[in-house]
Structure 1
Amino acid sequence: MKVVIVEDEQLAADALAVIVKRLRPQTEILSKIGSVEEAVQWFNLYQAPDLIFCDIHLSDGNSFEIFRQVTINCPVIFTTAYNQYAIEAFKVNSIDYLLKPIKPEDVALALKKYESQQRPVPQDMSQLQQVKSRFLVKQGQVIKTIPVEDVSYFWAEDGVVFLFTRQGKRFIINYTLDQLEEQLDKTVYFRANRQLIVHIHAVQEVHSYFKGRLTLQLHPALDKEVIISRSKASEFKLWLDM
């Protein structure tokens, strides 16, 4: 998915980009645009993206002026601190209207609305991507299932992925972390690094580490150092605050 963000506050634009990338990691942010004039120039020069996030009050005027000057046919999600523009917003391809401060859960719902309008309805249930609800594990000669809500984290080591429960039990599962990341609810699970996917309830403490990194204290405790890189630290903090 290719996205353009029209927002005149740089910090707000950056924060929104982080939220979108966290929710949809494959998203490409084509541009962050801060004014009506710049937006008109951009949309005259380049092909429209798949989706636009657009603030209404920009540094040089109202963003509806963009749509009066340029024909834009892609969907738009408006972001604003004011609620009086909703009717006008829905006249210009708007699929949602988010009030500031923007919350990750609101963006998640808006993206789902966008995606539901873009994809064809599956012909059968087998075509629907399912969020994982339980895991099949083996304990000795016994095969059992563990509900996903009982999983504290997944840890990968030497090519093996372990599932750790809230009770501190450990099981080997036949998934890679990449596969798990696609099947788990991203509002409660976070890919901390190449070795760990952690559930929100397992994060006991977060400590600042040198060079902008973070370290985590988990429950149940893991006898490994858990470090979140500087590049992921902001994304992790946003996830904690969802």
Structure 2
Amino acid sequence: MYKILIIEDEAPARKKLKRYLKQACSSYEIVAELETVADAKSLLTQTHEVDLIFSDIELRDGTVFEVYKDLSINCPIIFATAYNEFLMNAFEANGIDYLLKPYSFERFSNAWDKFIRLKGNSSANYNELVGTIHHLLKDNQENSIAYKDQFAIKTRQEIYFLKVEDIVCFQADNGIIFAFDKMNKRHIMPQTVFKEIETFLDPKKFFRINRSESVQRKFIDKLERYNKNTVSIYLNSESKLLRTSQNNTGEFNAWLGI
């Protein structure tokens, strides 16, 4: 019986993963379902009796790499995330596969089969395989990622195209995601999950400043300190004002190089 740990902060994603797991394997036990970096650190500090970890990357209180950086993880990890910019980090942290949301059962099954094959190998063979994947990804990562230069926006009367270069920011509100362009016009995006949009965006140009807002670098005019761990961001000739969350401020500053 395989002991499985799930680290995922979105309930629908956990439900889908467990459904696929039930289809792929008849003998397993889910040790725990965790939603935060803090909980993952706490559990993995206390126990090493895990055969496989299914892990998201962006959690409620930070990125899961904070866990794998601080702790020695001996079991393989299958990452399931909406972000494609963390490929290298994933394979440096015992990752054996990288499921990009939304993924199919076929894609999940391939990752599971890889785990089964590796389970019978020696640790040396396992480390060699991970190292090989790491180098292949490093050589081909830039060519394999294609970001959108425009989004197709559907209305009742028409379909029009919104250029990414004109998008100042994205904002999520009650299950609807809006894009605001440089004329401050609001567009309703076809995507309903914020992470889906981010897979199409160049992370060098866009940054999620909190759970529901993302900004484009070139439209940032100035920053002001709002409180100890939060900054105010003035965008698009100061026509729009947004604020970082406490958890994202440090990474946002690093992203800007300040």
Q: TM-score, normalised by structure 2?
A: 0.47
From the CA coordinates, give the structure whose radius of gyration is larger. 1
Q: TM-score, normalised by structure 1?
A: 0.49
